[in-house]
Every structure is written in C-alpha cells, then in structure tokens.
C-alpha cells in the first residue's frame, strides 16, 4: 500500500510536469505563430522597400539621363556675367571674336526655345545685348574705313588682310543678327573703296600723262601702201610691252623726274597692270570679308564697275 502511495505521488508529479510541459508547448506554439505572423509582416515590408528602392533607382537613372542635356540647356540659355560685361563695358577688339560667336549661339538657343517662359524672360536681356553689340560693331567698322576715306597713302591691301579679314566673324554676326547694320557697313565699304581707287587712279593717270607728254609720238599709218617705203624701222623692243611678263610698271613718283621718259606702250601697260592688280586683289578680298553672295542686291560686279568709272 505504501508503494502505491509512493507511485501515486510520482504519477501526480509526473502529471504536473506533463501539464507544465503542455503549457510551455502551448506558449511556444503561440510565440511561434506570432513570430511567423511578424515574419510575414516583415517580409511584406521588405518587399515593399525593395519595390520602393527599385522605383527610386529608376527615377535616379532617369534624372541622370536628363542631367547632361538639362545642364547643356541651362548653359546655352543663360548669359554669363563675364560675356555681358565684355559686350557692355569693353571696346571691340580681338577678345570679341570668340565672345560674339558664343553670344550668337546663346541667342539662337533662346530663339529655338521661345515657348519656354524662362527663355522668353532671358530673350529680353539678350535682345538688349544684341542691340549694344550691333551698335558697337557698326561704329568699329565705320571707324576702320575712315583712314581709307581721308588718307590716300593708306595701304588698302594691308588694311583688308590684316584688319578686315581678321574681324570677318564679327561682320558675319551683323549679317545674321543685324541685317540693316551689315548693309550699312557694306555700303560704307563700297563708297570708301570707290573713293580710294578713283582718287588713286586719277592721280596715277595724271602722272602717266606727264610721262607720256615727254615722248611725243609721230603720226604714222599702221600699214605701208603699195610702192611706198616705210619711213621708220619697226622697234621690236616695244612689242615686249604687250606681254604681262616684262619690264616693271611705272611708279607714280617717277613722273617727278623730268628727264624720265617711257614709250606709250609702257604707259598703257603700266596702267592696265596696276588696274588688273588692284581689281583682282579687291575681288579676292571683298567677297571674303563682306560675304557679298548673301546679298544679291549688292554684288561685287556693281562695286567693280563703280571703281572702273573712276578712270573716266
């Protein structure tokens, strides 16, 4: 009987332990169930974060793709303070050549994006700078022509090659952005050139006339009639003046030497060679500087005829 009681006590303790274990297992089950739900929630949050991360990454890639074009757009549309200061506060010179090219590129960019409000706002500032630049360039080119009008000793070819051609990009800017100013400069150039060449050729012809008067020519028939005898022998050396390659031309100062004489062939040869040399030089230079092909109403042929009329 005592053994049964001992066993019963052990069974009771075992039962209590089993109940405790069952309670622990139930608690563990509840904890695991809650943990599983938490894991599911965390998994959903991680998935959501991954989706948001992908969305942010895609947006970042899109912004990076437009970053460079947008930067270029802003760079083209804005006018740097240094460029505005150069146009407003400095005289026209060599630094203007690259600056005007940059300014015109920005003008074209603003015109191409006229629908953008920012571009329209900046266009007003750019238009003011364009007017200032055109005004200064007009005064600059007209001042370059002043020595040609007033001083016949000025070397036209040197002025053309060392000054006009160097500043050709500035004149091209006027032709594209200020047409009326460019046409005014063209007319001034044509008028100054006509005065320069007309005056120069009149003086040169006058000097040749003095030299020609020192060697009077006898009136002779071109051919000898039948039975007639030629009075004077033919001077073959004078035929050499009919060639371009031959003696040097007569210079105007030679007329000051009253003893200097030349045959009439040398006089006409010098006149034609000087005329040809100046005309070809002008024809090569004027189209390069003035770009006359852009304006059919002001052609080089018209200017050349004006220069030739100065010989009449």
Q: Quickly state the pLDDT bin for 296 (edges 50, 70, 90).
A: very low
Two structure tokens written together for 160: 């053309």
CA dist 283 and 299 (Å) reads: 11
Contact 211, 167 (CB under 8 A): no
- Same-domain pairing of 275 and 182: no
> Where does residue 227 fall: left (phi above 0), alpha (psi -120 to 50 degrees), or beta otherwise?
left
For the stretch 231-253, pLDDT in tens is 555 566 766 677 777 777 878 77
In this prediction, residue 302 carries a pLDDT of 36
- Structural domain that includes position 258: 192-216+239-309
In this prediction, residue 2 carries a pLDDT of 65
- Same-domain pairing of 185 and 255: no
- Which contacts qualify for 179-186: CB closer than 8 Å, 24 or more apart? 181/134, 181/137, 181/138, 183/295, 183/298, 184/138, 185/138, 185/141, 185/142, 186/290, 186/292, 186/295, 186/298
Classify residue 22: in a domain, yes or no: no
* Total Cβ atoms within 10 A of residue 214: 13
- Same-domain pairing of 154 and 97: yes
Can you say whether the dihedral through the CA atoms of 22, 27, 33, 39 is positive or negative?
negative
Classify residue 223: in a domain, yes or no: no
- Same-domain pairing of 132 and 92: yes
- Same-domain pairing of 127 and 203: no
- Same-domain pairing of 175 and 210: no
Q: What is the DSSP string of 60-98?
A: HHHHHHHHHHHHHHHHHHS--HHHHHHHHHS-SSTTHHH
Find the range with the poorest average confidence among 18-32, 52-66, 216-230.
Answer: 216-230
Nearest-5° angle of CA 18, CA 22, CA 26? 170
pLDDT (average), residues 15-25: 83
Classify residue 69: in a domain, yes or no: no
* Total Cβ atoms within 10 A of residue 73: 16
pLDDT surpassing 60 at residue 259: yes
Classify residue 50: in a domain, yes or no: no
Classify residue 154: in a domain, yes or no: yes
Count of domains for the chain? 2
Classify residue 49: in a domain, yes or no: no
For the stretch 110-134, pLDDT in tens is 888 777 777 777 888 888 999 999 9
- Same-domain pairing of 204 and 276: yes
- Same-domain pairing of 156 and 204: no
Classify residue 248: in a domain, yes or no: yes
Classify residue 256: in a domain, yes or no: yes
- Same-domain pairing of 280 and 304: yes
How far is CA 140 from its chain centroid?
18
Q: Quickly state the pLDDT bin for 309 (edges 50, 70, 90).
A: very low
Q: Quickly state the pLDDT bin for 86 (edges 50, 70, 90).
A: very high
- Same-domain pairing of 86 and 174: yes
For the stretch 202-242, pLDDT in tens is 888 888 888 777 777 666 665 555 555 555 555 667 666 77
- Same-domain pairing of 201 and 138: no
Of 66 and 141, the one with more pLDDT: 141
In this prediction, residue 289 carries a pLDDT of 67
- Same-domain pairing of 196 and 114: no
């Amino acid at each position: 009987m005592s053994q049964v009681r001992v066993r019963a006590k052990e069974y009771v303790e075992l039962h209590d332990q089993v109940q405790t274990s069952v309670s622990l297992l139930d608690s563990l089950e509840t904890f695991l169930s809650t943990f599983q739900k938490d894991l599911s929630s965390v998994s959903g949050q991680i998935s959501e974060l991954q989706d948001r991360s992908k969305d942010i990454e895609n947006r970042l890639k899109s912004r990076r793709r437009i970053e460079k074009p947008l930067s270029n757009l802003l760079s083209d549309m804005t006018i740097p303070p240094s460029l505005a200061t150069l146009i407003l506060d400095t005289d026209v010179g060599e630094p203007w050549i690259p600056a005007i090219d940059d300014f015109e590129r920005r003008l074209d960019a603003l015109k191409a994006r006229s629908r953008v409000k920012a571009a329209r706002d900046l266009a007003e500032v750019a238009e003011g700078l364009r007017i200032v630049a055109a005004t200064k360039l007009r005064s600059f080119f007209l001042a370059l022509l002043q020595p040609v009008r007033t001083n016949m000793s000025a070397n036209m070819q040197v002025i053309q090659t060392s000054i006009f051609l160097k500043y050709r990009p500035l004149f091209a800017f006027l032709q594209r952005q200020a047409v009326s100013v460019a046409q005014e400069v063209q007319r001034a150039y044509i008028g100054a050139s006509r005065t320069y060449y007309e005056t120069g050729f009149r003086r040169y012809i006058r000097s040749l006339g003095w030299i020609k008067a020192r060697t009077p020519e006898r009136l002779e028939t071109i051919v000898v009639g039948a039975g007639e005898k030629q009075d004077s022998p033919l001077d073959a050396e004078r035929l050499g003046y009919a060639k371009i390659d031959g003696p040097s031309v007569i210079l105007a100062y030679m007329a000051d030497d009253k003893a200097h004489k030349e045959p009439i062939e040398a006089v006409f040869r010098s006149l034609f060679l000087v005329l040809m040399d100046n005309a070809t030089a002008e024809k090569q230079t004027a189209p390069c500087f003035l770009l006359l092909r852009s304006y059919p109403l002001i052609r080089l042929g018209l200017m050349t005829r004006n220069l030739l009329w100065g010989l009449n």
